[in-house]
Amino acid sequence: MSYDVVVVGAGPAGSAAALAAARAGLSVVLLERGPFPGSKNAYGGVVYGRVLDDVLPGWWDEVPVQRWVTRRSTMILTGHQALTVDFRTSDWGQAPYNGCTTFRADFDGWLAGKAVEAGAQLLTSTVATGLLREGGRVVGVRTDRPDGDLRARIVVAADGVNSFLAKEAGLLPKTDAAHTTLGVKEVLALPREVIDERFGVRGLEGVDVEILGCTRGIPGGGFVYTNRDTVSVGVVVSVQHLAAAKVRPEELVADLKAHPAIAPWVRGAEVKEYTAHLIPEGGYDAMPELHADGLLVTGDAAGMCLAAGIWLEGVNFALGSGLAAGRAAAQAIAAGDVSRAGLACYRKDLESSFVLQDHKRLRRAPGLVLSERVQQRYPGLIADLVQDLFTVTNPTPKPGALRLLRAAAKRNGVKLRHLAADGLAAGRTFR
Amino acid sequence: MTGYDEIAFDDRMATVEFRVGERAHIVVDSEVCRSCTTQACVTACPANLFAPTSDGGILFNYEQCFECGTCYQVCNGEGALSWSYPDGGQGVVFRHG
Ligand SMILES: Cc1cc2nc3c(=O)[nH]c(=O)nc-3n(C[C@H](O)[C@H](O)[C@H](O)COP(=O)(O)OP(=O)(O)OC[C@H]3O[C@@H](n4cnc5c(N)ncnc54)[C@H](O)[C@@H]3O)c2cc1C
Ligand code: SF4
Ligand code: SF4
């Protein structure tokens, strides 16, 4: 069989690419190795869907939402302390919304359905086992179906974090443990009213909590997200440091659930599902070449997940880059040039959109948030400082804030000049 | 204490659906593992599928694998792991994810 475009992977990037290419009138086949889209995929999760505004107007009326995030917190934990910055706004509870919790088994299937409506053909339970090449150019993929090969003018590799296609094309290194994190998550069942009450929400309002300092010093962080009648709790940690620490990942989730600040939220909950998945966290500086002759790489396969440390935006970047890949395929085919040069419009498009602009701006964020001081020292420093500020010492007069800061820094092994330097770096990173 | 009963590992894995294929999609060469100094896979695999054996090697069972890739990312022994995805439609099936 021969198509204009073969898209490998029906995650958000692949379905978005297939949607855009099919809308442009191309013949598109979308391959997914799982029995249904989403069956192999796990994430935190919150989807920030505004990138769909132009392609699927009113997407919020149909997206398989669990809850709309109207409350977002960042927490800093030590073994016995917790400091939370907590924000809520009713603006995020109405159209056009900001983010929703949703399960990948639901969301990925919904989006793949949109690609099919646009004319793409979805083939599930099909593994792309390799690239078909002629004279160095990619001209299709091999599959594990009986009739095997699928030829195409352009192959879109949307096969996620382990992208064997991008590796085969020589664009990605075989392993990259330094830029890869492992996420493990539990979905915990609780009655809906109990979730509403414990998290202070009602209706479809939901909560998104990112947590620093809960991973035994292993670079990473934790999260808690509310769904309708489940709560998702998990951690994301550097695979390299996890391996070196000889800690089992599920123990970190157990630690988190047992923390005095988290335990009251999940008490009595039953584990519905345990999942694990990798994340490419290298950001802009670790991104591969995004295209080759006859090949476009998109989503996590291209390292597009924006990970400013513990704040993960992967689905929206997969959607943004996937749509761009679909458009680029259409443009190149229309121009009759699917070579590397003809596909260069893909990178240009990404550079002019949030995808590469945000990545470029935040290129230092993963390094900073996952750095040793931020991970191992600052949570304790900040928590100690706040505890000292809030502890009423009568009859001893109140010590000055600067003295407390010095003492907290010393106790946590931080030099003030390093604190100042990191503060400046943070200012530059997130400017 | 918090009153939270931590779930046993087998019960944890029992929450996940696996459509086990005939073909082992990951194969471990225990010979290589015997001279591996880290055996990092043993603790890092979220499904706990790598069991050290008394002769210093590794006993591996592919059946309850998340297909995540952690093992090959952390593997310390050249050629110890041959890693591929299960055949189409087989392997892990997340119901929530
Ligand atoms: C624990 C965790 C928490 C996260 N939290 C969030 C969050 O809250 N918000 C957010 O926006 N992002 C989050 N992310 C990141 C987000 O999940 C990813 O960035 C996003 O899923 C990338 O989409 P993708 O389409 O590129 O890849 P994927 O979603 O991985 O999709 C790839 C698809 O390709 C298929 N496939 C792979 N190889 C083949 C093959 N050879 N043949 C056929 N099919 C194949 C797979 O089965 C899969 O369906 C999180 C990730 C993790 C692991
Ligand atoms: S890390 Fe690799 S070589 Fe070492 S024991 Fe595990 S599988 Fe074998
Ligand atoms: S792919 Fe993941 S779950 Fe499977 S054996 Fe390797 S580390 Fe374990």
Does residue A74 surpass a pLDDT of 50?
yes
**Residues A107-147: tens digit of each pLDDT:** 999 999 999 999 999 999 999 999 999 999 999 999 999 98
Mutation target for A interface from B1, B4, B19, B22: give the one with most A CBs within 10 A: B4
Distance CA A95, CA A35 (A): 33
Residue of B nearest to A253 (CA): B6
B93 and A39 in contact by Cβ < 8 A?
A: yes
Greater pLDDT, A387 or B2: A387
- Partner-chain contact B97 A247, CB within 8 Å: no
Please provide the average confidence, as pLDDT, over all residues in chain A. 96
CA of B41 to the centre of ligand 3 (A): 8
The number of residues making up chain B comes to 97
Phi, psi of A113 (to 5 degrees): -60, -35
Q: For atom 2 of ligand 2, which residue has the closest CA?
A: B75
Q: What element of type H or E holds A193?
A: helix A192-199
Selection from A119, A330, A85 nearest residue A210 by Cα: A85
B26 ligand 2 Cβ < 6 A: no
pLDDT in tens, B57-92: 999 999 999 999 999 999 989 899 999 999 999 999
Question: Between A35, A43, A271, which is nearest B15 by CB?
Answer: A271
Q: Which long-range contacts (CB under 8 A, 24 or more apart) does B30-37 make?
A: B30/B57, B30/B58, B30/B59, B30/B60, B31/B57, B32/B77, B32/B78, B32/B79, B32/B80, B33/B57, B33/B58, B33/B77, B33/B80, B35/B77, B36/B76, B36/B77, B36/B80, B37/B76
Query: What residues line ligand 3, using a CB cutoff of 6 Å?
Result: B 26, 45-47, 49, 65-71
- pLDDT, tens digit, 9 for 90 and up, residues A264-297: 999 999 999 999 999 999 999 999 999 999 999 9
Please name the residue whose Cα sits nearest to atom 6 of ligand 3. Answer: B71
Reported pTM? 0.97
- The pLDDT tens digits of the residues spanning B26-66 come to 999 999 999 999 999 999 999 999 999 999 999 999 999 99
Question: Which residues touch A299 (CB under 8 Å, ≥6 apart)?
Answer: A9, A11, A12, A13, A14, A158, A160, A305, A314, A317, A318, A321, A322
Residue ID of nearest Cα to ligand 3 atom 2: B68
